[in-house]
Chains A and B, each alone.
Chain A
Amino acid sequence: MNQAFLDNSLWRNIYCVLAGDSAQCAAREYSPGMLPGGMEWLAFLLAAAAIVGLFVNGVLGGVIVLIWGERRLFGRFQSRTGPNRWGPFGTLTSVADAIKTMFKEDLVPAEADRILFNLAPILVAAPALMVFSVIPFGVGTYVADLNVGVLFIMAITSLTTLSVLTASWSSANRIAILSALRSVALLISYEIPMALAVVGVVMLAGSMSLGDIIQAQGVPFILVQPLGFFVFFLAAMAEMARAPFDLTEAESELAAGYLNDYASMKFGLFFLAEFMAEISTSAIITTLFLSGWRGFDFIPSHLWFGAKLIAVLFVIIWFRMTLPRLRIDQVLKFAWKGLFELTMINIVVTAILIAIWPQPTTTQLWYMVAINWPVAIVSIWGVSKLLGTPPYEQTQPDPNAPTYPVGSEEIPASSAYVAEVNKQASLQEGGD
């Protein structure tokens, strides 16, 4: 039995309740277990199934709540009420929507590549769920604490674009292809600043494990790494394809892009994956920059995590509600000329600070805060000056501008036409 699993309290509790007699659990007063001796392998499998089931259902339940919450918030932002018919405060609206989605006809375009077309929704939903396996939702509440957790997240989140490409290619739709190309361009451009933004966090924590990163945050890294947070947040928004970077869906241009030909539960899976990505991104931001489940001890760690998660989700929804979309060339320019430079500045400054204070204590982290914030403000100001649109040069109207010729205001009376009209009228009368 791997000792790592027993360090994880979630695993340990389930496993030891089932197999209390085993050597690993003897000291923990779980004896006797529910299973007879020698069945540790079954206990291990059942514990794994239970935890995966718990996480999958928890995430799906979270998605249902998020969809409702996002709609309510949309309503508030747009000075209307939002869903309020089904259930108290409209909480059952998402349930009704889910039922509706499942019962819709499953259409497949005649030209579509059926295998890939059916595979794409699975491809998009699976990685969105897999991200949750490394996120610690509270003290000891995680599926696996990988020692390359950050790298795992980076790798898994990139898979979404592959499924978008699959979906658009297989549905044989030109608008979908355009959407997929945009998705790939976004991925290639924003993966780099996103990864580089995390480098500062990893350098400070000295580890890629999310558990270690949380342990290292004596001061939340949003304060120590303001530039890293800024870049990571925007890059994550772009990775999720959320407004103002929602170029792949682009309701007003591509009319949902790669989702064009999907109906029924296949569309539902894309929809779920989108909201799961929103939750997982918020969870990653919470973990990396807002010190995860850490907080004052009198509130349980899960509640801390939940509160921070909801705060990040609120900001993401706020962004989505408020900002118009950028154009593709502006988005790419922003990534390569703006965010990339900012991450470079961040890495250099952080490296210098780490060289001064290796293994920083909480006090030394506060020194870093004092140094990093001015650097962040100055560099963001500089980049915004560099990339901002200059104002108009000429604002006064030209007095010599051309204009329409001002001639006679009356249309010249065409007597011939009136005569023709009269003639026809008299003909009509004669006919009667």
Chain B
Amino acid sequence: MAIKTQPVTVNLGPQHPSTHGVFRMRVMFDGEEIVDVEPVFGYLHRGSEKLAEERTYTQIVTLTDRMDYVSSMLNNQAYILAVEKLAGIEPSPRGVWLRMIAAELQRIASHLVATGFLIQDLGALGTPLIYAMREREGILDLFEMLCGARITNSYLRPGGVFMDAPDEFWPALDRGLDDIVRTIDELETYLSGNEIIFSRTKGTAVLPPELLINASITGPMLRASGVDWDLRHRAPYDYYDKISFERKLHTASDNYARYWVRIQEARESVKIIKQCIEQIEPGPVRPSFDEVPRLIRPPAGDAYAAIEGSKGELGFYLVSDGSIAPYRMHVRASSLINLTLLRDMLIGGQFGDLFVTFGSVDLNMGEVDR
């Protein structure tokens, strides 16, 4: 028997507990099935790219912190790489190792946040989220030792980092890595085999790899579909060519695969940090001010540098006119580009899966709107 039904349009967000900030969606649903989705964003637009045109190259580091505020070290790294490329700066080896350690710690923190919020979106009342956030606090404590700040770090400078790690950082880092491994084991024990989580995430929002590539989606979302694409391996930046790590792939390309890839990548990051600790050598953490002055005046031209961020390819495109501020800065924001296929993921799905799928993209509104 065919039931005659009428689709209903509902506005979700920007004030909604699960929109990961201030995302807004106009959702049309028929019963529990989603018929149409119209994403609306821009509620957190702060004009970072325009502001960068008024600031010196060192000052812009603080702007990048505030883009994807759960992975500020990675933003710093991508921006600094672009500046170094633009101005032809040769970084100090110790600074590079330190920023790789910071970046990988940040990647773990970001993946923990993503996993915690995914389970939160699944309807758990905060417990897994708080367990994930507790471990992230430990990582933020390490950042506090490194640079005095926890979230908006501004730790990196053109040519390295602004300050060497204190002596007590290294034993704390060893303990922190053990804690991280233990937490990931714990999360995997309770989450990966959980029937409710598995039944709700398996086979939902499946995207074929061809579609993902056509939409230029990168990061864990892409690797969850079996595409072996990791910039740390394909186009090594910093000293990633001196590091061996495994690229974790899943084939299902559904919400569970995305969750699984993130958890496994956090494990791999721990291994990368351990290799960095082995290879780091004493020395200056950044070139002297004679080599790299505070006011950098890159020659006129442009440069693009990209890193494998926690959410995908994070790139900075800088145009210089020879002055102390960039003529133009553009960010290839992985959060924004990963949202491209939101409609393909949501339409035809269940209303209950809407925010789970949304959360599995792992977007950050600070980066989407910039």
Interface residues of A (CB under 8 A from B): 74, 77-80, 174-175, 177-178, 243-244, 246-247, 250-253, 255, 320-330, 388-389, 392, 394-398, 401-404, 406, 409, 411, 413-414, 417-418, 421-422, 424-425
Contact = CB atoms under 8 A, between A and B. Distances in A.
Given A324-B197, A328-B350, 17 more contacts: A79-B134, A174-B8, A243-B125, A246-B123, A251-B123, A251-B125, A252-B17, A252-B18, A324-B194, A324-B196, A388-B199, A392-B252, A398-B251, A404-B227, A404-B229, A411-B304, A422-B321
Contacts of B234: 406
30 contacts: A74-B126, A78-B126, A78-B131, A79-B134, A80-B130, A178-B351, A243-B123, A250-B123, A250-B352, A252-B123, A253-B351, A253-B354, A255-B16, A321-B127, A324-B194, A325-B122, A325-B352, A328-B32, A329-B350, A392-B251, A392-B252, A396-B251, A398-B251, A401-B227, A402-B210, A402-B213, A411-B304, A411-B317, A417-B319, A418-B301
B24 to A, nearest CB: 13
Given A253-B352, A328-B352, A417 B302 contact: yes
Contacts of A255: 16-18
B319 A78 contact: no
B121 interface: yes
A327 B352 contact: yes
B134 A421 contact: no
Contacts of B228: 397, 401, 403
Contacts of B251: 392, 394-398
Contacts of B194: 324
B327 interface: yes
Interface size class of B (residues with CB under 8 A): 35 or more
Contacts of A422: 300, 321-322
Contact of A327 (B10, B200, B209, B226): B200
A411 B318 CA distance: 12
A78 B130 contact: yes
B321 A424 contact: yes
A275 to B, nearest CB: 15
Contacts of A414: 302
Nearest to A256: B17
A253 B18 contact: yes
B235 interface: yes
Contacts of B130: 78-80
B140 interface: no
B198 A418 contact: no
Contacts of B29: 178
Nearest to A251: B17
B202 A392 contact: yes
Interface in B266-312: 300-304
Contacts of B317: 411
B75 interface: no
Contacts of B210: 402
A82 to B, nearest CB: 12
A330 B351 contact: no
A425 B321 contact: yes
A268 B322 CA distance: 64
Of residues B18, B197, B327, B352, which shows the largest number of chain A Cβ atoms within 10 Å of its Cβ? B352
B119 interface: yes
B120 interface: yes
Of residues A175, A389, A394, A398, which shows the largest number of chain B Cβ atoms within 10 Å of its Cβ? A389
B323 interface: yes
A403 B229 contact: yes
A253 B10 CA distance: 12
Interface string B6-35: 001110000011100000000001001000
A44 B196 CA distance: 53
A384 to B, nearest CB: 8
Interface of B: 8-10, 16-18, 29, 32, 119-127, 130-131, 134, 194-200, 202, 209-210, 213, 225-229, 234-235, 249-252, 300-304, 317, 319, 321-323, 327, 350-355
A420 B103 CA distance: 36
Nearest to A384: B195
A358 B12 CA distance: 59
Contact of A397 (B127, B199, B226): B226
Nearest to B225: A401
A252 B121 contact: yes
A329 B124 CA distance: 18
Nearest to A401: B226
A320 B353 CA distance: 20
A417 B353 CA distance: 46
A411 B123 CA distance: 44
Given A404-B213, A421-B321, A324 B202 contact: no
Nearest to B212: A402
B279 to A, nearest CB: 24
Contact of B226 (A246, A326, A398): A398
Given A252-B123, A418-B301, A402 B319 contact: no
Given A246-B123, A326-B196, A421 B352 contact: no
A178 B16 CA distance: 16
B131 A79 contact: yes
A327 B213 CA distance: 30
B302 A402 contact: no
Contact of A324 (B119, B134, B322): B119
Given A80-B130, A326-B200, A398-B251, A413 B351 contact: no
A413 B301 contact: yes
B319 to A, nearest CB: 6
Nearest to B328: A421
A319 to B, nearest CB: 10
B350 A421 contact: no
Contacts of A417: 302, 319
A174 B351 CA distance: 13
Contacts of B355: 252-253
B302 A413 contact: yes
Contacts of A397: 226, 228, 249-251
Contacts of B323: 425
Nearest to A77: B127
Nearest to A325: B123
Contacts of A253: 18, 123, 351-352, 354-355
A411 to B, nearest CB: 5
A307 B135 CA distance: 36
Contacts of A247: 352
Nearest to B218: A404
Given A397-B228, A402-B213, A389 B235 contact: no
A329 B250 CA distance: 27
A403 B223 CA distance: 10
Contacts of A244: 123, 196
A414 to B, nearest CB: 7
A338 to B, nearest CB: 12
A174 B321 CA distance: 54
Contacts of A402: 209-210, 213, 227
A287 B79 CA distance: 66
Given A327-B352, A421-B300, A401 B209 contact: yes
B184 to A, nearest CB: 17
